[in-house]
Amino acid sequence: MPEILSQQEIDSLLSGISTGTIEAVEAPPEPKKSEKEAITFDFRLPHRLSKNQLRTFQAVHESFGETFSSYLVSRLQTTVTINVSSVDQLFYSEFVLSIASPSSLYVFRITESDALAVLEVSPQLLLAMVEHLMGGVAEGEKNARPITKIEQSIVKGIIQRALSDIQRAWKTVAELTFKLERYEIEGDFVQIAPASEIVMVVSFEVIIGTQKYMMNLCFPTFALEDVLAKLNMQHFSVGAGVKGESDWRAPLFRQVGKTRVNATCLLGETSLSLRELLHLEPGDILRTNIPVNGEVQVQIGGKTRVLGRPGVSKGKVAVKVTNVLHEHSSGA
């Protein structure tokens, strides 16, 4: 640590510089800052998830946030907004160190991979939910404390609904089943992966009224191997190029050709006065605007598509198509 000069020493130095007995030394120039600052890279942290995959998972959980916030609005009877703060990949040991004590950790199983994941909810958020469900207003910040058994029972239905909404949002990328297993309050007791395993952590910001709370989802990457492989295949197929027109026209026309449509044959039209309509009796003859040897209109979807002549085919009433109308002539 540099020594601090007294006022007498400072005065003697100034007088020495003015008389020339002490030479003034210019301060060294400050080093120029480079335009691009170097960023340290941790080679110990392999990136299991690509940027495209992270963006996909962010979109999935944004969809969950919209659905779950709508549910909370109806249950809590107040304004609720859920935003995705970040989607990161880190060591599981780092995630455990980031867990506050006490916390509310809901461990659930991914049935397809038989792996565990965890939903971390701040105790303040659960206490706010309990107070709203009990008819309170939950004003001001809550002190973090362990959640009692009764409070766990009150919010258990909401947590199960959250897992259901997460599962529904994940259907866009994979058919996974999430099953709630147990509740923990300390991160050290939640061993869902080895300490050196890479996990994906999705952080949410939950806003209830004017208060903000945090919620995190943690998935071990080994539980998502099939999902990641599927996303890689989708990315490869998209980058491989678009198929030619001849590749999709044939199957498309085969499927469209099996579609059934309703056709209506308009045999003729006429105009009647209200008096004539009231005096109609069985046996009366109505003259239409189509002659006996004229063509009748066949309507499909409310529009005249073809013209034809009525007749009988194999003992059933039929219409023989004589002319096909195109779009530019359908109104004629």
Could you report the per-residue pLDDT of 267-276, keeping only the tens digit for each?
778 888 888 8
What the block records as the tokens of 151 is: 């409070």
d(CA 105, CA 52): 29
Residue count of the chain: 332
Kindly report, residue by residue over 247-280, the tens digit of the pLDDT.
667 777 777 777 788 888 887 788 888 888 888 8
**In which band, very low, low, confident or very high, does the pLDDT at 27 lie, cut at 50, 70 and 90?**
low
Kindly report, residue by residue over 183-221, the tens digit of the pLDDT.
999 888 888 889 888 999 999 999 998 889 999 999 998
Angstrom distances, CA of residue 306 to CA of 216, 269, 283, 303, 320: 62, 17, 31, 9, 10
Q: What per-residue confidence (pLDDT) applies to 292? A: 74
Write the CB contacts of 103 (distance below 8 Å, at least 6 apart in sequence): 120, 121, 122, 123, 144, 185, 186, 187
Q: The tokens 């409310």 sit on which residue? A: 302
Which has the closest alpha carbon to 211: 310, 120, 128? 128
Give, in degrees to the nearest 5, the angle at Cα 12 between 10 and 18.
105
Structural domains in the chain? 51-237 (3.40.1550.10), 288-332 (no CATH)
Which has the closest alpha carbon to 54: 236, 178, 203, 252? 203
The mean pLDDT of 121-145, rounded to a whole number, is 83
Order of all β-strands in the sheet with 198-208: 80-91, 198-208, 211-220, 115-121, 104-110, 178-184
**In which band, very low, low, confident or very high, does the pLDDT at 48 lie, cut at 50, 70 and 90?**
confident
d(CA 309, CA 242): 46
Q: Please, what is the average pLDDT of the chain?
A: 81
Write the CB contacts of 203 (distance below 8 Å, at least 6 apart in sequence): 84, 85, 86, 87, 88, 214, 215, 216
d(CA 64, CA 204): 11
Does 7 or 194 have the greater pLDDT score? 194
Order of all β-strands in the sheet with 316-324: 263-266, 296-300, 303-313, 316-324
**In which band, very low, low, confident or very high, does the pLDDT at 104 lie, cut at 50, 70 and 90?**
very high
3-state helix, strand, coil in the chain (%, to 5): 35, 25, 40
User: From the CA atom positions of the chain, what is the Rg in Å?
Assistant: 38
Q: Is the peptide bond before 102 cis (omega within 30 degrees of 0)?
A: yes
The mean pLDDT of 154-170, rounded to a whole number, is 93
d(CA 128, CA 215): 13
The mean pLDDT of 71-87, rounded to a whole number, is 92
Q: What per-residue confidence (pLDDT) applies to 237? A: 46
* Phi, psi angle pair for 278, to nearest 5°: -70, -25
8 A C-beta contact, residue 145 and residue 123: yes
pTM of the model: 0.57
Does 119 or 173 have the greater pLDDT score? 119
**In which band, very low, low, confident or very high, does the pLDDT at 6 lie, cut at 50, 70 and 90?**
low
d(CA 64, CA 170): 9
Write the CB contacts of 309 (distance below 8 Å, at least 6 apart in sequence): 295, 296, 319, 320, 322
The mean pLDDT of 115-144, rounded to a whole number, is 85
The pLDDT of residue 34 is above 60: no
What the block records as the tokens of 1 is: 């640590």
The mean pLDDT of 31-50, rounded to a whole number, is 59
Helix H or strand E encompassing 93: helix 92-98
